[in-house]
Amino acid sequence: MFDWIFDTQVLASFLTLALLEIILGIDNVIFLSIISSKLPVEKQARARYIGLALALIMRVLLLLGVAWLTKLTMTAFSIGAHDVAWRDIILGAGGMFLLYKGTAEIHHTVQGDEHEESTKKTASFASVIMQIVILDVVFSLDSVITAVGMTDDVPVMIAAIMVAIAIMMFASEPVSAFIEKNLPIKMLALSFLLLVGVALMADALHHHIPRGYLYFAIAFSMGVEALTLLAQARRKAKKAKH
């Protein structure tokens, strides 16, 4: 069963796929961090772990039902010369949901409402989990289609996804703390969710935007912001000395 571990070609596919799944999971972790911040502090970590566990279950089930997954690419209906598949409907709905959530969160942050909401804690645990499940479906679909396109060995795909989810679980806590602590980083993260939403809607319209462009843009922005935070910290330290 584990003979693939000693096959260099299969092992290379596993490592490449695991890395891709981690990269594709960045937007999932960012969304989990932002949506779970609506909960009381003691429930936030549990919501993130449940969300990632559900993501793992969904991806494994999708992989085991590869035959059903291929049906999602079949045409559901046509609008003129444009064929619409079930996959397009799911990705388009997920993209609109991300655009709505990202825009709403940016509005609350700009207006300064997030502090008032955090004291009230109006979001229920069930509603947060439901939003996580909705986005897990969309992100899992994108992730599994990528995995199926790289290899046809289901155990290798499942192992790569499990490794990626485990790393995301480990990273979710520090990522969430960092986003909540730094307001500019939170705004960048929300802007990244808007970019992902636009990319999902573009995919639904059969206009694929390479994810590398999105990840490079957010990495560059994060790098610039990190330098800004470092410069501010050093200036404060110098002022404190004087």
pLDDT at 226 exceeding the cut of 60: yes
Neighbours of 238 (CB within 10 A): 9
Q: Count Cβ atoms below 10 Å from residue 82 Cβ, excluding itself.
A: 11
3-state secondary structure of 76: strand
Please state the rounded mean pLDDT for residues 61-76. Answer: 71
Q: Higher confidence at residue 73 or residue 202?
A: 202
pLDDT at 113: 60
Q: Tell me phi and psi for residue 76, to 5 degrees.
A: -90, -45
Model confidence over 82-109: pLDDT tens digits? 778 877 888 888 888 888 888 888 888 7
User: Is it the case that residue 120 has pLDDT exceeding 50?
Assistant: no
Distance of CA 53 to the CA centre of its chain: 14
pLDDT, tens only, 160-218: 888 888 888 888 888 888 877 777 778 888 888 888 888 888 888 888 887 777 778 87
User: What confidence score (pLDDT) does residue 106 get?
Assistant: 84
Contacts of 36 (CB under 8 A, 6+ apart): 43, 44, 45, 47, 48, 51, 128, 132, 176
From 58-67, 69-78, 158-167, the region with the lowest mean pLDDT: 69-78
pLDDT of residue 183: 78
- What local confidence, expressed as pLDDT, does residue 114 receive? 55
Average pLDDT score, the chain: 77
Length of the chain: 242
Output the pTM of the full model.
Answer: 0.70
Q: State the pLDDT at residue 119.
A: 45
Residue 3 has pLDDT above 70, yes or no: no
Sequence letter at residue 16:
T
Q: Compare 194 and 64 and report the one with higher pLDDT.
A: 194
Say what the pLDDT of residue 123 is.
62
- Please name the residue ranges forming H helices in the chain: 8-24, 26-36, 41-64, 66-71, 86-111, 113-120, 125-150, 154-181, 183-204, 211-241
Residue 47: phi and psi, rounded to 5, are -65, -40
Residue 152 has phi, psi (to 5 degrees) of -110, 10
Q: Give 157's contacts (C-beta < 8 A, 6+ positions apart).
A: 17, 63, 144, 147, 148, 150, 151
Q: What is the pLDDT of residue 39?
A: 81
State the amino acid at position 52 in one-letter form: L
Retrieve residue 63's tokens: 């992989």
- Characterize the bridge pairing of strands 75-79 and 82-85: antiparallel
Assigned token pair, 178: 């960092």
pLDDT at residue 225, as a whole number: 81
Would you call 30 exposed, middle or buried from its count of C-beta atoms within 10 A (0-12, 13-18, 19+)?
A: buried
Q: Distance between CA atoms of 129 and 75, rounded to whole angstroms?
A: 31
Whether the per-residue pLDDT at 126 is higher than 60: the answer is yes
pLDDT greater at residue 181 or residue 71: 181
If you average pLDDT over residues 142-146, what whole number do you get? 70
Please choose, from the candidates 138, 130, 129, 65, the residue with its C-alpha nearest in 3D space to the C-alpha of residue 98: 138
